[in-house]
Every structure is written in structure tokens, then in C-alpha cells.
Amino acid sequence: MNNVQIKKRANKSSLPFFLKEEFKVSFIIIFVSTILLITTFTFDIVPPILNRGIQPATFPKALLVLIISLTLIVYYLSTKKPWKLEKKLPKTFYLTLLSFVLFVIISKTLDFFLAISLLSVFVSYFWGEKRIFYLLLVSIVFPIIVFIFFETILGLRFPPGIITNIYYQV
Amino acid sequence: MENLLLMMAPLFSSKLLIVLFFGTLFGLILGVLPGLGPTTGGALILPFTMTLDPLSAIVLLTSIYCAGTYGGAITAILINTPGTPAAAATCLDGYPLAQKGEAGRALGMATVSSAVGGIFSVIILVFFAPMLAKLAYEFGQPEYFALAIFGLTMLASIGEGSPIKNLIAGAFGIFISTIGKDFMTSIDRFTYGINELSEGIGFIPVVVGLFAISEMLTQSTSLDQVFKRIALKAVKLPSLNDYKLTWKTILRSSGIGSFIGVLPAEGGTVASLIGYSEAKRFSKKPEEFGKGSIEGIAGAEAANNAATGGAMVPTLALGIPGSATTAVILTGLIIHGVRPGPDLFREQPEFLYGIFGAMLISNVLFFLFGFFGAKIFARITLVPNKILWPMIFAVSVCGTYSLSQSIIDVWIMLFFGVIGFFMRRYGFSVVPVIIGLILGELVEGTLRQSLVIFDGNWLMFLSRPIVITFFILSIIALTFPLLKKKK
């Protein structure tokens, strides 16, 4: 097993620069910052009489230039001393991430409470919980307690949806 | 004398005592659970504080802060996993000592030194916060700008991890604060036509996302981790011999922790590491460190709890958070309409001394809870992640939604959860993002107002002695890690 790991590590260090994690991370930061920097040129320009010290675009521009410059330094340093990276991400990570996407879709289209409930049972199940009692506890009992608590103590009104509408008798 | 009476006020208010009791209890539970902690817990509880008056709300948050910082030690000693990052140094000697069958002694020392460190730091807070606030009367917009810059550079310099990555994270936090309508000219920035973004990005969705949701993703990558809890019969008060061995260490670490806490950095985490290494340096038996040294536990625990009071000094006196948790407390102050700074000391002393008193009582309370309840709290660590985290998700979502009743906030929270996960994975600390976000408006606002005062002449910054001092300190803070590396 050790030999396999050493072999994998050796393969990783011989990867072309654009496949290395350090490059990918630096590239994403610089790419996003550049797009945001370009956006700053579309901001309205304030006439001098209303201008408070500097134009509204100047400060974010300076910040983005700083982020890009520092990222270049970080990337340069990583070529001398590669980052210590943790193990490959497991399937449960991607499933949890997928549950977030499902949460957004369900909360937008069907129901907020249903989205919480489904995410809870989904995550709990794929993280290894198979006992029905505990699955019901995290997906139905606990969300109901939280829902009622926020609704009564904080006077919160949750967004409309198929289940929430029944509760509010809409 | 008058101030002392004001400090005692929480003792005579049944409402505040109840808040303190539950805040300390909740803080302990949060501290014990690995992955949670006072920062995430404070952010989760923030929406609930809207039902309380300002003093009760801040008392609740500060008691969570004090008790949560201590709670991390219980897990560090019994399962070799720090409940909070600030307890990481406690693992080094706490767990080996517990393995030797002395878990009660280890927890006893952690409890005593945490309480002493916490109480020491409250005394520092009572004396230094008003002094710092008086000094802040001399501050104008340029001085506040220079101070905020100094805060951010310090964070980069003595925070955890790479200073450059910390700076990037801090700049990212300030950048987030620029999203929305420009507060001076009302011009939209980075809103892309989305109305909900005009108001800017709220603090709660970002904090809950960066801490709670990113931690949930982190937990999803380590489900095979099995915790082995060492059996605990009872927490023991340290023996006379232990006191003789550690009293100097406790006092030294309390001083170190309070000082580090005052500096805007990752408070307790850095303080405990320095406290631990200084305890080792001064120890007569340094070879015992890492093998169950009682001095090691005392050094780390006194320092991390002393950082709590220290971190409250700049938070209350200047409105500059000394740590991630105090950034949450600062947000609590702001959403309750309390503006920290010198005016607060002049106009609402009863409010401030009430907080000081509450912190003092909270330190005593967690001492008692620790002694009599550590065995029960230790059991909480055994709640499986597959049950705990879906529950935390439900609370996170409802809590984030509750502040503005906006579903967009919930999506922002999830977005920052994913960002936070990848930041941590690639060695970027998320704490500078929070501090940057909270200081962002101050940095930009004071810069622009200063330029109005200076008629656009940037060189005028150098005509103010306090500004020059802060700029020099910022340069030292930035070059310090490089000099340390060369050494």
C-alpha cells in the first residue's frame, strides 16, 4: 500500500504545471478577480462635486489588484515549496455538495421545510445512518422543533411552499 | 468603587443570571463538540439575541465565548481532538496525561488554569479598555484608517498559516464588504442587477457559511474517524504540589494570553501555542512536555482563556475585533444599535461594566460546570456526526433566514460554505475573511473621508504622528514573518 502511495505521489510531482493544484487554485483566484476587476470599469462615475475622496470603483479596484498580485506571489512561492495537500475527496463529500444543490432547487420550487427535511435525511443516510428512528429524528422531528421554535419565539414567517402553506392554512 | 458596583449588576438581575447560566452551558457544549466552537455557536445564536435587550444579548454572546474556549479542553484531554482550535496545544500534554490514568487531574488543571486566565484577562479588560478608549478620543478618520490597516496586517502576520494567504483572505473579506450600494454615493457595485445584493452581503450568512457549513463539508471527508474517549471518574482539584509547579506558568500564560488577545489576530489559538512554548522554555523539566506535563496543560489553557478578555479590549474600546468570535460579538453590538468606541465608555458605562461583570461570572460558572459536569459534557462528544450535522444544518438555515427573512441569504450561506471548505483545504484561513468583512466599511469609509479632509492629497496621511506610528507598526508586522524565517 505504501508503494502505491509513493508511486502516486511521484506521479503527482511529475504532473505538468497546469494540472497541479497550486496552479489551478491560483488560476481560479486570478481569473475571478480579473472578471471582477473588469466589472469595476462599468461602475457609474460620480461627478467631482459628489465625489467623496475617491470614485466608488477605485477602492474595489485596488483590492482586486492586491489580491491578484498576492496570488501571483503565492503561486511563485508554491513552485519553490509545493503545498501540503490533504487526501482525495471522498464520495460522501460530493454527495453532501449535491445535497446543497438539491436544497437550493427544492427550497425554490417546492418548499423550504421540505428542502431542510430532505437534505437532513439525505446527508444522514449517506453519512452512514441506516436506523429508521434516527433518520426520522433528524429529518422530521428536529426540523419541526426548529421550525416551530423560530416561528413562535422569533415570530418568523417562512417562505410559502406546499407544506408551509398547509401549516399557515393558506 | 462605582464601576465595581456596576460590574456586580448582573449578580442582582435574575434575567441576566439566567442568560449567563444558559450562555455558559451552551458555550461549554459548543466547545466540547469538535468542529463547532464559540465563533460558529455565536453566529448561530445571533438571530435569537434579537428577542433580548442589548445587554442580555451581549452577555449571552460573551458567556458563550468564555465557556466555549474552555470547553475545547475537555475534548482535547479525553479524546485527543481539540474541541476548538484554541485547545490544540492542550492535546499535546492533556491526552498523554489522561492515557496515564490521570484524566481527572489533567481536567482539573485545565479548569483551574482556564478560570484563572479568564479572570486575569477580565481584570486587564477593566483597566485597559477605558484607557484605550480615552486614547481613541485623539483619533480622527485618518487614524482609524491606519489602525484598521494595522489590525489587518497583524492578523496576516501572527495569525495561523501563511501570512500572504492570510492577507489575500483579509482582502477578500474587505472586498465582500464593497458588494452592494456604495454607502457614500449610493452607486451599485457588483450587484449585477440582483436587487437583494443592493443591501450588501450580510455578516451572518458569511460567518455561518464559512464556519458551520464549511465544517459540515470537512466532516463529510472524515467520516471514518473513530473517537476513543478515555474514561473519566471525576475531575480532581490540583494538588498543592501541582499548584507549586504551575502557578508561575499560569500567571505568565495569563499575561501572554491577555496581550496576544489585545492584538487583532486569531486570539486564543495563537495565545495557547505561545503560552505552551513559553511554559516549556521556562520549565525545569522541559523533557516531560508532550508526555503528559501538567505545566504544558496549564500554560496552554491559561493563555487561551486569557485571550478572551484581551480580545474584548480593542472590540469595545475601538470597534476593532480582536478575534473571530469578538467579530461576532461586535456584530451583535451593531445589530442591537450599540456602537463600540470611546463614546460608549462615556455614555453607557453601566452597559460596559455589566459585560465585564458577566464575563467574570461566566469564568466562575464554567469553573463550577467543569468540575461537576465534565463527565456529562464529555459524553456529548459521542453524538455521531451523521446525526449532529444535519441538525446543525437545520439550525444554520433557519437562523440565517431569520435575520432578513431572505432565501437569498441562505444560498449565500451555502456558497460561502463551499468557498470556506476549499479555502481551508488549500491553507487559507477563513478568520481574516470575517475580520476583513467587518472592518471593510471602516477601512473604505475612513480612507475616503480622510481624502476629503486632505483634499485628495495622499501625502497628508504622513503629517499625522499616530498615522505614521500605525503605518510603521504595519510594516513591521508585515516584515516580521520574513525576518523570523531568515533567522
Read off the pLDDT of residues B81-117 as tens digits, 9 standing for 90 and up: 777 777 888 888 888 888 888 888 888 899 999 999 9
What was the pLDDT predicted at A52?
A: 67
B216 with A21: Cβ contact below 8 A = no
254-313 in B: which are within 8 Å (CB) of A?
none
The dihedral sign for the CA sequence B340, B341, B343, B344: positive
Flag whether pLDDT at A61 surpasses 90. Answer: yes
Distance (Å) from the alpha carbon of A7 to chain B's nearest alpha carbon:
23
Flag whether pLDDT at B266 surpasses 80. Answer: no
B411 with A104: Cβ contact below 8 A = yes
How far apart CA B123 and CA B129 sit, in angstroms, is 10
A vs B, Cβ pairs < 8 A, gives: 164
Total-model pTM: 0.83
B217 with A93: Cβ contact below 8 A = yes
How far apart CA A92 and CA A113 sit, in angstroms, is 23
ipTM of the complex: 0.87
Burial annotation B389-404 (CB, 10 A radius, 16+ → b, else e):
bbbbbbbbbbbbbbbe
B397 is in which domain, residue-wise?
A: 2-486
pLDDT band at A19 (very low <50, low <70, confident <90, very high): confident
For the segment A92-100, the average pLDDT, to the nearest whole number, is: 92
Say which of A21, A121, A157 has its CB closest to residue B405. A157
Flag whether pLDDT at B472 surpasses 50. Answer: yes
Using an 8 Å CB-CB cutoff, list chain A residues near B390.
Answer: 119-121, 123-124, 138-139, 142
pLDDT band at B10 (very low <50, low <70, confident <90, very high): low
**B450 inside 8 A of chain A by CB:** yes
pLDDT band at B157 (very low <50, low <70, confident <90, very high): low
Flag whether pLDDT at B7 surpasses 70. Answer: no
Q: What is the pLDDT of chain B when averaged over all its residues? A: 84
B410 with A107: Cβ contact below 8 A = yes
For the segment B204-226, the average pLDDT, to the nearest whole number, is: 83
Identify the H or E element spanning B386. Answer: helix B385-404
Using an 8 Å CB-CB cutoff, list chain A residues near B394.
Answer: 116, 120, 142-143, 146
**B415 inside 8 A of chain A by CB:** no
A25 with B221: Cβ contact below 8 A = no
Lowest mean pLDDT among B5-9, B75-79, B309-313: B5-9
For the segment B310-321, the average pLDDT, to the nearest whole number, is: 85
**A69 inside 8 A of chain B by CB:** no
Residue B171: partners with Cβ closer than 8 Å, 6 or more residues away? A63, A66, A67, A70, B436
**A98 inside 8 A of chain B by CB:** no
Q: Which of B72, B80, B83 is nearest to B110 (CA)?
A: B72
What was the pLDDT predicted at B13?
A: 78
How far apart CA B42 and CA B59 sit, in angstroms, is 11
| Nine cell digits for residue B290 | 508532550
B418: closest chain A residue by CA:
A97
How far apart CA B317 and CA B340 sit, in angstroms, is 6
What was the pLDDT predicted at A1?
A: 42
**C-alpha count within 13 angstroms, C-beta hemisphere, residue B411:** 13
A96 with B407: Cβ contact below 8 A = no
DSSP calls for A112-129: HHHHHHHHHHHHHHHTT-
How far apart CA B59 and CA B27 sit, in angstroms, is 12
A69: closest chain B residue by CA:
B168
Reduce the DSSP state of residue B181 to 3 states and report it.
Answer: strand
Using an 8 Å CB-CB cutoff, list chain B residues near A123.
Answer: 220, 386, 389-390, 393
Task: Find the radius of gyration of the CA atoms of chain B.
Answer: 22
What was the pLDDT predicted at A34?
A: 95
What was the pLDDT predicted at B58?
A: 92
DSSP calls for B201-250: --HHHHHHIIIIIHHHHHHHT-TT----PPP-----PPPHHHHHHHHHHH
For the segment A116-123, the average pLDDT, to the nearest whole number, is: 91
How far apart CA A77 and CA A74 sit, in angstroms, is 5
Q: Which has the higher per-residue pLDDT, B130 or A32?
A: A32
**B152 inside 8 A of chain A by CB:** no
Q: In this structure, what DSSP letter does residue A18 have?
A: G
For the segment B167-181, the average pLDDT, to the nearest whole number, is: 91
For the segment A83-110, the average pLDDT, to the nearest whole number, is: 88
**A66 inside 8 A of chain B by CB:** yes
Q: In this structure, what DSSP letter does residue A155 have?
A: -
Q: Which has the higher per-residue pLDDT, B237 or B105?
A: B105
The total domain count for chain B is 1
Lowest mean pLDDT among A40-44, B131-135, B314-318, B332-336: B131-135
Strand partners, B181: B188
Rounded to 10 deg, the angle between the B141-158 and B465-486 helix axes is 10
Class of residue B375 by CB neighbours under 10 A (exposed 0-12, middle 13-18, buried 19+):
middle
The type of residue at B239 is S
Using an 8 Å CB-CB cutoff, list chain B residues near A26.
Answer: none
**A161 inside 8 A of chain B by CB:** no
Residue B357: partners with Cβ closer than 8 Å, 6 or more residues away? B6, B7, B8, B9, B10, B11
**B182 inside 8 A of chain A by CB:** yes
Distances (CA, A) of B78 to B25, B67, B82, B93, B129: 19, 17, 9, 11, 36
Q: Which has the higher per-residue pLDDT, B38 or B175?
A: B175
